[in-house]
Amino acid sequence: MGIKEELVLIKDIQKETILISQTIALLGWDQQTYMPRKGVTSRAEQTAYLNSLIHEKMISPELYSALTRLEKNKSRISNDEKLMVEKMLKRVKRARKIPAEFVKEMSIAITQAFTAWEKAHKNNDFSMFKPYLKKIIELKRKEANYIKLPGHIYNSLLDDFEEGMTVEKIKPVFDELKNKLIVIIKSIEASEEYKKQKNIYSKREFKKGKLMEIIKDILSRMGLTDDIMRFDLVEHPFTQAIGHNDIRITSAFRKNPFFFFFASIHEAGHGLYEKNLPEKDQYNILGQSVSLGLHESQSHFWEDRIAKGESFWEYYFPRFRKHFKIKDKKQFYKEINQVRGGKIRIEADEIHYCLHVILRLECEIGLIDGSISVDDIEKVWNEKTKEYIGEIPKNDNEGVLQDVHWSDGLVGYFPTYAIGVLYSSQIYEAMIKNNPRIESEISKGNLGKVAEWLKENIHKHGSKYTAEEIVKKATGKGLSCDAFISYLNKKYSKIYNL
């Protein structure tokens, strides 16, 4: 094979694996939206088989030899092709480092651990999950040792979700973040305003149809119109891109009416990122989303920076007032931004949220490098919760059993949530700096201006750069908690009269 044929081959395989992934995404979306209950057995077979097909393609000798030959001849291919080869080769090498028996062992361990977690969660009893967690941690450590990236052993797991990010990089940022958040929380909790804060609107019942109408209006102003997007109700909200112009957003109604509202906008942030990825690269690696952290930055951007901001409500409050007969704009704004403790991550406000994530990251690092044993994890979890959040979980479901991630083999995933929060603040700060008039556009409901800026500065890059490089290009700075802390100080000193 010559260079031309090798390029064709690696482009073909990228396209094939992307088409299979899109199909897997549809199988997953359908499973959580419309599939009849008993379809689950066939669905597991379909998904497992298509996943194995991708793996097979990724470790095929033809692909590997084409990539290594192209790498040796990189002076003869274009810059984009060079980048493609580099990124593909990294993935292929990673996949080839992991023995087939290990993949099988992990897949069985996950299936068992997930079932055990469900049972344990139902019985609120961590001891039922513990032996399975031990197995998962043992295997994840083994996996990290197969991959063996430089530096801390945890890097090999983290890199899979957040390419280029390392313990060495995030640890100091997260430590600083943790200390500063605790200071902010203490000063809020000491305020008069905090002591007298109350819940009025979050206990009301809002008409679902009207909420839906407003959400549809917001999504379409963001650029998510019905010709390229579906919006469905599910148990746990998620977003899937099935194709370039086929974005599936889902949301859910809970007791608190704000849950649906902000979860929908959060998911729309994910959806908009997928929609704006470069169309010309849709069937190669450069056109895909770059990392979970950058993805999460987009959902937090819309949920926390935009939809919980004052400008946004200048436009939308009159609509809420009209539909839901609410009058007190100040109370409403305070309530959607209310700071309150709480031991459950997914119910946390935006200040406590990152502390939950940091707690998990510290646990994961300890479990993987061996400084924390699974036998001690409950104790460590509870102590850290007391230290960072101020309360001790009353039971396992409020503590170490609350998240499904570990049972799914996802270790190295949690930190991307906080990375997303930090990036979203950095990006928002840069957007305002570049466009001093953009907040007044938001207050007129012109969300399209924001979407355009994000497309131009974040989305259009696909994965031509790492997430941190993209953020650096857009904001002048790599991962940092400065923007987030300064945003929190400004916003919450106003809300709590600090």
Nearest distance in Å: CB 84, a second copy: 19
Options 229, 377, 400, 450; binder of a second copy; rule CB under 8 A:
229
By CB under 8 A, tell whether 35 contacts a second copy.
yes
Nearest distance in Å: CB 294, a second copy: 22
Nearest distance in Å: CB 134, a second copy: 33
- CA atoms of 257 and 431, how far apart (whole Å): 30
Nearest distance in Å: CB 44, a second copy: 10
Counting residues that bind a second copy (by CB under 8 A) gives: 36
Residues in Cβ contact with 208 at an 8 Å cutoff, skipping those fewer than 6 apart: 253, 260
Binding mask 47-76 for a second copy (x = CB under 8 A): --xx--------------------------
Q: Which is nearer to a second copy, 20 or 392 (CB)?
A: 20
Options 3, 11, 23, 51; binder of a second copy; rule CB under 8 A:
23
Interacting span for a second copy (CB under 8 A) from 21-29, 95-103, 251-259, 379-387: 21-29
Restricting to residues 207-226, name those near a second copy by CB under 8 A.
226
Options 2, 36, 150, 436; binder of a second copy; rule CB under 8 A:
36
Nearest distance in Å: CB 347, a second copy: 31
Restricting to residues 257-286, name those near a second copy by CB under 8 A.
282-283
By CB under 8 A, tell whether 34 contacts a second copy.
yes
Q: Which is nearer to a second copy, 116 or 268 (CB)?
A: 268
Q: Which is nearer to a second copy, 274 or 403 (CB)?
A: 274
By CB under 8 A, tell whether 234 contacts a second copy.
no
By CB under 8 A, tell whether 104 contacts a second copy.
no
Angle at CA of residue 150, ends 467 and 75, nearest 5°: 65
Nearest distance in Å: CB 69, a second copy: 25
By CB under 8 A, tell whether 43 contacts a second copy.
yes
Binding mask 137-156 for a second copy (x = CB under 8 A): --------------------
Options 2, 4, 41, 235; binder of a second copy; rule CB under 8 A:
41
Nearest distance in Å: CB 94, a second copy: 25
Q: Which is nearer to a second copy, 26 or 392 (CB)?
A: 26
By CB under 8 A, tell whether 22 contacts a second copy.
yes
Determine the residue type at 431. M
Alpha helix ranges (H) inside 34-99: 40-58, 61-72, 79-97
Q: Which is nearer to a second copy, 147 or 228 (CB)?
A: 228
By CB under 8 A, tell whether 38 contacts a second copy.
yes
Closest CA to 450 of 431, 424, 425: 431
By CB under 8 A, tell whether 16 contacts a second copy.
yes
Closest CA to 453 of 464, 465, 442, 463: 442
Name the residues annotated as catalytic.
267
Options 70, 247, 265, 488; binder of a second copy; rule CB under 8 A:
247
Which residues of this chain interact with a second copy, rule CB under 8 A? Answer: 15-16, 19-20, 22-23, 26-27, 30, 34-39, 41-43, 45-46, 49-50, 226-230, 232, 242-247, 282-283
